[in-house]
Amino acid sequence: MKSIDIKQVKRSMRIDYLRLAASGEGSVWILALVPLVFTFIGFIVDDGAITFGAAGAVTAICALYAAFSAMMVFSNEETTGNTSMNGIVPVSRLNQVFARFALGFVADVITAIEGVLCLLILFHHDEPSVSLFVGLGLGVFGVALFLGGMVIPIFYKFTVTKAMGWSFAILGLLFFAVFLIGKIMPDNIRKRMVEWITTARLGVVPWAAIFAVLVAIVVCVCSFMLSVRVYERKEL
């Protein structure tokens, strides 16, 4: 089995980035500015509800953007006839997959930091605890990683339109499952869980957040192995 080669990964990451930036490199970074707009609004308007709403928007946007940056690469690749290039470039399929995950990971880190900073600005009045924000940041990061990880193998297997359908179906199922579990769970267990989520800490970092990120990483590793399997079988 061939191994991961940083040289090749770098080549492929650069190309994937160019795919993201296809409509102009500015567009990549402009999208990153959107949360800042909400932050600005939430900051200026000193109304609790609006601020909270802005915070919600920021969190959601960051998580989604991070999770679906990989999807945008797939989309650009396919709709512009760019997939055949994958058969030509001197990068093994294993490394192409790794590069895509790596780029997603980097996007996740950047948007998580951005998200945390925005939230810090929004809630600067309330002198919130550091651990809350670390927790939120890691939480956003974990969610993004999880979503992205889940979705990437689907995009390797199917065409973009089909993959989007499957992704939303699976995500919908996931949320429904979580919802069900929440409903079924006996009250005392649920209480204990909420307690744990809100209080347990490792130093300044909430355990729940660490747990979320760990789960996401496991999902990503499995998703990576699955993606490699799918992609190596694929006929370009």
Beta carbon of residue 21, minimum distance to another protein (angstroms, whole number): 8
As a whole number of angstroms, the distance between CA 204 and CA 112 comes to: 17
For another protein, which stretch binds (CB under 8 A), given 42-50, 81-89, 124-132, 218-226? 81-89
As a whole number of angstroms, the distance between CA 59 and CA 120 comes to: 12
As a whole number of angstroms, the distance between CA 191 and CA 76 comes to: 45
Q: Given the complex with another protein, which of 97 and 112 has the nearer CB atom?
A: 97
Report the residue from 88, 127, 186, 188 that binds another protein according to the rule CB under 8 A: 88
Does position 59 interact with another protein (CB under 8 A)? The reply is no
Give buried/exposed letters for 73-102 (b at 16+ CB in 10 A, else e): bbbbbeeeeeeeebeeeebbbbbbbbbbbb
Q: How many CA atoms lie within 13 A of 126 on its CB side?
A: 16
Q: Given the complex with another protein, which of 18 and 45 has the nearer CB atom?
A: 18
Of 4-43, binders to another protein (CB under 8 A) are 5, 8, 10-11, 14-15, 18-19, 21-23
Beta carbon of residue 125, minimum distance to another protein (angstroms, whole number): 44
Q: Given the complex with another protein, which of 80 and 159 has the nearer CB atom?
A: 80
